[in-house]
């Protein structure tokens, strides 16, 4: 049974001191409870001594499981989910890709500063990658970019379209929208890599949910089995569908 109130997929709050990106116009999710994997990047143009120039936090279904420092290349597991998957191949591939994204954004940072902004006080560049996988195997993915908590630019990975959400994001769109390599880089990571990691992490998440399934079972007791889809069943269905499509495409 679908939840009574739909929720918009988003990253959970991070520990970064920079304001979080505000979701002004995110692409509407086809199913509110579709599992999601999200990464938030914060790049500091002129970091203070001892301050990292790039920080990343990752969440599965808004549950934080990872932090990554692009400068020191230090990765930390922040939850039981992270501990469960940190020895997997997907974990290592994820870390390597986060490093590549951080380096790319750092290279692009000087050319994508917001319009009408001086160099005296460069703003942190913030980016958010989100991918979702539905029970039918369909993947939705997007990137959001902005400065100081304000989202300026949206990239729909599926359609490879850039949308300016704030007038100061025009320069970013002109720079990235005309660069096929950058566009393909963002599309491939969100539609391919992110999807693959999500599939891998959901397998471990499902195992952890099995140990706490009793409250869910009690809550739905008395309802028709035909109308109740438990979280575990939903995750299994999504994981199977994603695996089948990944096998067909890969």
User: Could you tell me the CATH number of the domain that includes residue 190?
Assistant: 3.30.500.10
Could you tell me the residue range of the domain that residue 188 belongs to?
Answer: 36-212+226-249
Return the sign of the alpha-carbon dihedral for residues 189, 191, 15, 19.
positive
For residue 31, is it within any domain?
no
Mean pLDDT within 119-146: 85
Please give the tally of structural domains in the chain.
1
Residue 244 belongs to a domain:
yes
What is the pTM (predicted TM-score) of this model? Answer: 0.74
With 0-12 / 13-18 / 19 or more C-beta atoms within 10 angstroms meaning exposed / middle / buried, residue 242 is buried
Percent of the chain whose predicted confidence (pLDDT) is above 70? 65
**Tokens at 51, concatenated:** 């301050």
Answer yes or no: is 24 within a domain. no
What is the predicted pLDDT for the residue at 138?
Answer: 82
- Tokens 């998440």: give the residue: 205
Please report whether residue 20 resides in a domain.
no
d(CA 96, CA 103) in angstroms, rounded, equals 11
Cα separation, 71 vs 126, whole angstroms: 16
CB 125 within 8 A of CB 107: no
Tokens representing residue 164 in the block: 């300016």
Burial class (CB in 10 A: 0-12, 13-18, 19+), 111: exposed
**What is the band of 171 on the pLDDT scale with cuts at 50, 70, 90?**
confident
Q: Is the pLDDT of residue 97 over 90?
A: yes
Mean residue pLDDT of the chain comes to 76
Q: What is the DSSP letter of 147?
A: E
pLDDT digits (tens, 9 = 90+) for 30-81: 455 678 999 999 999 888 888 899 999 999 888 899 999 998 999 999 998 8
Determine contact, residues 204/81, Cβ cutoff 8 Å. yes
Output the CA torsion sign for 51, 91, 192, 230: negative
The answer to which of 26-30, 66-70, 123-127, 210-214 has the lowest mean pLDDT is 26-30
53 domain residue, yes or no: yes
Please report whether residue 219 resides in a domain: no
Let me know if residue 205 belongs to a domain.
yes
């Amino acid at each position: 049974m679908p939840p009574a109130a739909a929720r918009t997929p988003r990253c959970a709050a991070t520990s970064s001191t920079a304001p979080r990106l505000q979701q002004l116009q995110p692409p509407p999710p086809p199913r509110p409870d579709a599992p999601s994997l999200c990464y938030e990047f914060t790049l500091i143009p002129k970091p203070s001594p001892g301050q990292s120039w790039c920080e990343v936090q990752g969440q599965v279904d808004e549950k934080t499981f990872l932090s990554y420092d692009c400068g020191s290349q230090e990765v930390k597991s922040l939850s039981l989910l992270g501990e469960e998957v940190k020895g997997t191949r997907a974990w290592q591939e994820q870390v390597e890709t986060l490093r590549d994204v951080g380096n790319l954004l750092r290279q692009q940072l000087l050319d994508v500063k917001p319009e009408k902004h001086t160099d005296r006080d460069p703003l942190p560049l913030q980016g958010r990658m989100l991918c979702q996988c539905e029970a039918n195997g369909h993947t939705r993915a997007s990137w959001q970019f902005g400065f100081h908590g304000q989202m300026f630019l949206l990239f729909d990975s599926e359609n490879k379209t850039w949308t300016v959400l704030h007038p100061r994001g025009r320069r970013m769109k002109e720079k990235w929208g005309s660069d096929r390599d950058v566009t393909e880089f963002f599309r491939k990571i969100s539609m391919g890599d992110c999807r693959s990691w999500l599939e891998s992490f959901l397998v471990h998440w499902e195992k952890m949910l099995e140990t706490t399934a009793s409250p869910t079972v009690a809550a739905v007791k008395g309802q028709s089995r035909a109308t109740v889809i438990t979280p575990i069943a939903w995750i299994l269905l999504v994981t199977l569908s994603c695996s089948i499509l990944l096998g067909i495409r890969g």
